[in-house]
Structure 1
């Protein structure tokens, strides 16, 4: 266990301890530091403190960085589609139906299981079950994911997400005829008060912004492009439902059994970010999978037939 000890000087007087630690050790993330505080690994004067503790000149700060946990995830050859890879990052095209990381009920067959087989060097910041994972997409959403191969890259990518400088563009088929060509949905998202597995627009939620553009209209369906400014859980699904155009096939937020498709028609088609080491902006695109495109063709043909 590595120990980090420092005496606080006047320049840090009154600073929050979590912010000061991140400034002192950029390779640590805020979530990582805050978890260490909850676990009692961050001490001032030999006593645990909260992340909100404001430091005083002369404080003796000790951080006992815990040893990495032994990774208990089975490496599986899942034939992941790796779109890009270097020594710092990789971009994977996740298929619909695959969970990103192991969890109760999904111990195997996840993106992480496949990554563990593909490479041995992944960041450890998010713990043993989510190595390298800096953001997620839902099980039944397909598309591109950034993955960090070391802790420095992980911190850089997370900071870019926090700063909203990462480009994330999705394609979605929604119910209804959206009359305007583009728009912005700005509505806070939080946990549903009664349905705890669902999210909803609520005044108590976190700030959330989605920009959308109509690509094509098919009678009672509309194909849209959604660009995330923030990245809340189920954001596009919740926001599109909120304005009256829920995603087709969405079992949680949409009308039931309106299309013959397993899960929501949502694809993360573009991701762009600054490379953690070089600073170069990199952007990757992936077309929707074949079954998604087939469903678009089907609703397009049905509209054409109805107009004959």
Structure 2
């Protein structure tokens, strides 16, 4: 079922191209916004308009949005390299390999942690959306390391609350370009979708509060190894905040990393790994902590830096 919207152009979009304005107002990509305009699904003050037309604040927009795509149904699918670190009746902690998402999403055809566990016979709680059963937090597809999933409904509700209330100790190591100044600090900057609508996130006024603590573990000639403690868990948070400091994660082309340095170190994705995860066990109450060593590609990059 399509979704018809009718509203004035906000003051903040005065002078923007129509496709850019539509993208920002409705959270679409510029390409998708342009397609809607070309299909005649957008009028400005009652008349058809071109995607390159400049909008004026207060002009009346009529937009017919397509129905959102339905979420994919998880199916058991083995995931090579997905390791179980710990498991009991309530939780399972895994070490996620590169190129694997947390759960199936629209447009993703690769492997997911959820489907890999289903293929291994692990029964997860069915609380929450069907395609996200047991998921209480996520890692990006190309970020490796520790994830906890809920197997019981009790564990699901307690862990969801723990992540929301920031009582989970999430530690990451990341290799960033250059040397942050100061060597230890906090980035407190709101994050939201990048205005371009191209899938990136960015520091945006009025975005969701986001706090990242960092500390330098080891400094090299062209890069620094940092330990990161997250207070919040926004999408791409570490990658966005490091880029905002002008020290992007090595290999993170999406957020401005130098491809030459990544190539020299043999890094083909962002150098970012979830090394530690600590929380109170959701049903037993005892503190638990898990650690993960660096995968081969990230360890090799560090070896190359130490030899320079």
Q: What's the TM-score bracket when you normalise by the shorter of the two chains?
A: 0.7 to 0.9
User: How far did residue 106 of structure 1 move?
Assistant: 2.7
Contact 1:140 1:262 in 2 (8 A): no
Partner in structure 1 of residue 74 of structure 2 = 73
- The answer as to 2:167 corresponding to 1:165 is yes
CA distance in 1, matches of 2:110, 2:185: 39
Say which of 291, 294, 297 aligns to 1:288.
294
Question: 1:93 deviation in Å?
Answer: 0.3
- What is the aligned counterpart of 1:277 among 283, 296, 299? 283
Aligned equivalent of 2:245, options 243, 246, 259: 243
> Equivalent residue for 1:14?
none
Q: 1:106, 1:267 → 2: CA distance? A: 21
Task: For residue 120 of structure 1, report the CA deviation from its aligned partner.
Answer: 4.2
d(CA) in 2 for partners of 1:107, 1:113 = 12
Q: Deviation at 1:89?
A: 0.3
- Residue 45 of structure 1 aligns with which residue? none
SS of the residue 1:92 aligns to: strand
Q: Cα–Cα, structure 1 residues 159 and 221, in superposed 2: closer, same or farther, change >3 Å?
A: same
SS in 2 for 1:273: strand
4+ runs deviating over 3 angstroms: none
Report the alpha carbon displacement of residue 251 of structure 1 after superposing the two structures with TM: 2.0
Q: How much has 1:280 moved relative to structure 2?
A: 0.8
Bigger CA drift: 172-181 or 146-155? 172-181
RMSD: 1.5
Matching residue of 1:117 = 119
Q: Distance in 1 between the 2:270 and 2:212 partners?
A: 17
Return the TM-score normalized by structure 2. 0.72
Q: Is the 8 A contact 2:100 2:110 kept in 1?
A: no
Question: Which residue matches 2:182?
Answer: 180
User: Does the 8 Å contact 1:135/1:145 carry over to 2?
Assistant: yes
Cα offsets for 1:243-269 (capped at 9, x unmatched): 111100002102341312221000001
Aligned to 2:218: 216
1:124, 1:132 within 8 Å by CA — same for their partners in 2?
yes
In structure 1, list runs of 5 or more residues that go unmatched. Answer: 1-70, 303-308
**Which whole-Å CA distance do the structure 1 matches of 2:258 and 2:177 have between them?**
12
CA contact (8 A) 1:74 1:108 kept: no
Q: CA, structure 1 residues 108+194, in 2 after alignment: closer, same or farther (shift >3 Å)?
A: closer
User: Mapping of 1:1-308 within 5 angstroms?
Assistant: 72-79=73-80, 80-258=82-260, 259-260=262-263, 261-302=267-308
Task: Sort the Cα spacing of 1:196 and 1:204 in 2 relative to 1 into closer, same or farther, 3 A.
Answer: farther
Deviation at 1:196, TM superposition (A): 4.1
Question: By how many angstroms is 1:190 displaced?
Answer: 0.9
Note if contact 1:90-1:147 (Cα within 8 Å) is conserved in structure 2.
yes
* 1:48-85 C-alpha deviation (Å, 9 max, x unpaired): xxxxxxxxxxxxxxxxxxxxxxx942212325200000
In structure 2, distance between residues paired with 1:154 and 1:120:
15
- Residue-pair matches, total: 232
Native 8 Å contact 1:74 1:113 kept in 2: yes
Q: Distance in 1 between matches of 2:174 and 2:122?
A: 34
Does the aligned pair in 1 maintain the 2:177–2:247 contact within 8 Å? yes
Match of 1:49 in 2: none
Look up the SS of the partner of 2:131 in the other structure: coil
**Structure 1 length as normaliser, TM-score?**
0.72
8 A contact 1:248–1:254 mirrored in 2: no
Give secondary structure in 1 for the equivalent of 2:279: strand
